[in-house]
A and B are shown apart, each in its own frame.
Chain A
Amino acid sequence: MDYTHILLASHGTPGACAAENATFKLCQPGHTIHHLIVVPDFWKGMLGDDWLNNAITQIRYGKYIEGQLEKEIQIDINRVSSTAEAQNITYHYEILLGNPADCVVKVANSSHFDLVVIGSPRAKKQEGLKSRMHCETLIRGLTIPLLVIPNA
């Protein structure tokens, strides 16, 4: 099949990188990849129950974390966009804060995509942030095909 407008959900993990590689194999020059990066909403709770710090410390911490996440996202964007440019593929990106599966469904159903590509969850003992895609939400919510790429 020829996919002209692919929605790629990735965020730098090994599974997501496998999804990126598969997307580039599926996408022909001149076609479009829409890269969705979701910042998981658990970050909203990452001030925890801190109550001792002054407002200035909390603001500095918030800005620092935002900056860190931005840096990490920029690395992902640069990696995918440079490959897309080399293969003459049109590249767009979108950053959302929220539940990963909800965000994918929302974006996938908001435009005329013909395929959604995601990576498989990492192995249980592998380290990393715990923010998995809720498969049932995807399966029930998507109206277009979903491709899950295993992290080999």
Chain B
Amino acid sequence: MVYTKKHPALLIMGILMLSLGALIHFSLMDGVISHLHLQKYLGEMSSLSYIFGGIAFIVGLWQLVWTHKEGNMDYYLSTVAGGIFILFIAMIIRWFVAPSVAVWSKSFGPVMGAKYLHEVLGLNYIVLGILTGIIVVNFFKVPTWAENGVRLSRLGLKTGVVLLGTLYSLAELQQLGGLSILMVGFFVLGSVGLVLWMGARHNIPNSMGGVLSAGMGVCGVSATVAAAPVVQAKSVEVAYTIGTILLWGVACMFLFPIIGNLLELGHIQFGAWAGTGILNSAQVAGAALAYQPDGIETLKVAEIFNITRVLILPIIVVWLAVWYVKREENAPDINIARVAFEKFPVFVIGFLLMFTLSSTGIFSPANHYKGKYFDNNIPAEKLLTEEQVLSLKNEQTKVQREVRQAAFTRLIENKKVMSIEDDDTLRGLVNAKILSKKGNKILKTAHKTVRHTANKIKKFRQFITWLFAFGLVGLGMQITFSSIKQAGGYPLAIGGVVGTLKAVLSLIIVVLFVHETI
């Protein structure tokens, strides 16, 4: 079979991307850029448009004029059109649609504290991208030339998780891992047990109870896909379960960031809550990025929870297999070792490998990966100015504590923060609001100058965010209304109870016991 479709779409997308790159390069879109406040995206707008526009143009031309034959090259290059299609949508949403929504929302003024409507509702490029994917598949259908490549979105997400492995410190991994094992362990086992118990009370078939408990308890659709053959679920039971999970997942992806904003949850708190309370693993990543679209701290927490869930999946599937065989006379023999081996998520090994490699400092100094790090080896032009030093000197008498006074004096003498300890002390001074607004502003500037993210790492983080954005837009294209419509029967009722309980209880636990520091 020849997979490549002779269609001009890829070539057209390539031309459009190259044109966009050129318009930005030659400053022909300055009005739009200024209106939408796109200055921070200028670098990626130009480079990504040129790189992927070039790829799309060359491959598009080749697809259109060449005679294609069966083979690996045909298969792999046939995916380019779909991949570029998703990327093009993600670009338009991130650079134009989401900023337009933000400008429009800001025109109403703050609606909740200092927050604007789009911030409260989480209407950023991630949520809008997923929504666009859902709209494309349900109202327009994914074009046939793009079908093969749309499946690449899964690869984007898995690659994103693997690369995310480089950005954790050992302490983070230990503490987040411990927290996720506790929370996921409790809620997964709790919800699996609760679904099986409710199923038995309502006399629903074991096959339905089994598949529903996996879906509700572990990681949504992925767990349903893994468990359905093992518990011999009937087609209608699978349809009910997946419909219910998708319905819940999509609703939670929009609701969780709104509730998180209302309760002003921190990044760790929100990541832990989304990672436990949202049924479907794809929507966990979506909600985390929706909550913090321009950073990856929430995503890092949520993904640890996702990984813990997926590591528990083989155990739950084996448990359900044994549970089902004990209850059903006609159940087929289960090879437990094979089930456990097949369900093991290989990409988690990649995640751990990347974490190990980055910890050795093989790519870059190890502390650079974790984000902002202390470095006071700064050029002369970044030192405090004479005027700033004079302002600080005028306020020196306000600083009473000996430690603060010492750090403050060293700052004035050297015109820069001299050590991590001094930096922490001066941050405490800012928080204590002892100095004037102007004085605090100078201290904040001094802090930002010595605490920064390495440029290389900033780009790497941006790349990971793009991988997730790409993956999530593509996954949006795989959520069909016709499958959501199948939600019904006992799965909807039981899923409603268990899903709500899980979301509410995990929120209570997160608010009461999870702190914002690692």
- A residues bordering B, Cβ < 8 Å? 40-54, 56-58, 60-61, 64-65, 68-69, 72, 127-131
Contact = CB atoms under 8 A, between A and B. Distances in A.
Nearest to A61: B225
A56 B234 CA distance: 20
Contacts of A68: 233-235, 238
A49 B239 contact: no
Contacts of B224: 48, 50
A52 B242 contact: no
Given A54-B346, A130-B486, A131-B482, A46 B242 contact: yes
A43 B236 CA distance: 11
A49 B342 contact: no
Contact of A50 (B222, B234, B236, B346): B222
Nearest to A128: B236
Given A54-B342, A61-B225, A49 B475 contact: yes
B83 interface: no
A51 B239 contact: no
B282 A130 contact: no
A42 to B, nearest CB: 4
Contact of B471 (A45, A50, A51): A51
Contacts of B344: 54
B228 interface: yes
A27 to B, nearest CB: 29
21 contacts: A42-B239, A42-B483, A42-B485, A42-B486, A43-B235, A47-B478, A48-B221, A49-B246, A50-B154, A51-B281, A54-B344, A54-B345, A56-B342, A60-B229, A60-B342, A65-B228, A65-B235, A68-B238, A69-B235, A72-B234, A129-B239
B486 to A, nearest CB: 6
Contact of A64 (B229, B246, B280, B313): B229
Contacts, number: 112
A45 B483 contact: yes
A49 B236 CA distance: 18
Given A50-B222, A51-B222, A52-B219, A65 B238 contact: yes
Contacts of A127: 488-489
B451 interface: no
Contacts of B280: 48-49
A45 B489 CA distance: 19
Contacts of A57: 225-226, 342-343
Contacts of A40: 482
A46 B238 CA distance: 8
A69 B237 CA distance: 12
Nearest to B130: A49
A47 B471 contact: no
A94 B245 CA distance: 33
B342 A45 contact: no
B166 interface: no
A51 B282 contact: yes
Given A128-B236, A130-B486, A45 B225 contact: no
A50 B220 CA distance: 8
B157 interface: yes
B289 interface: no
A76 to B, nearest CB: 13
Nearest to B479: A49
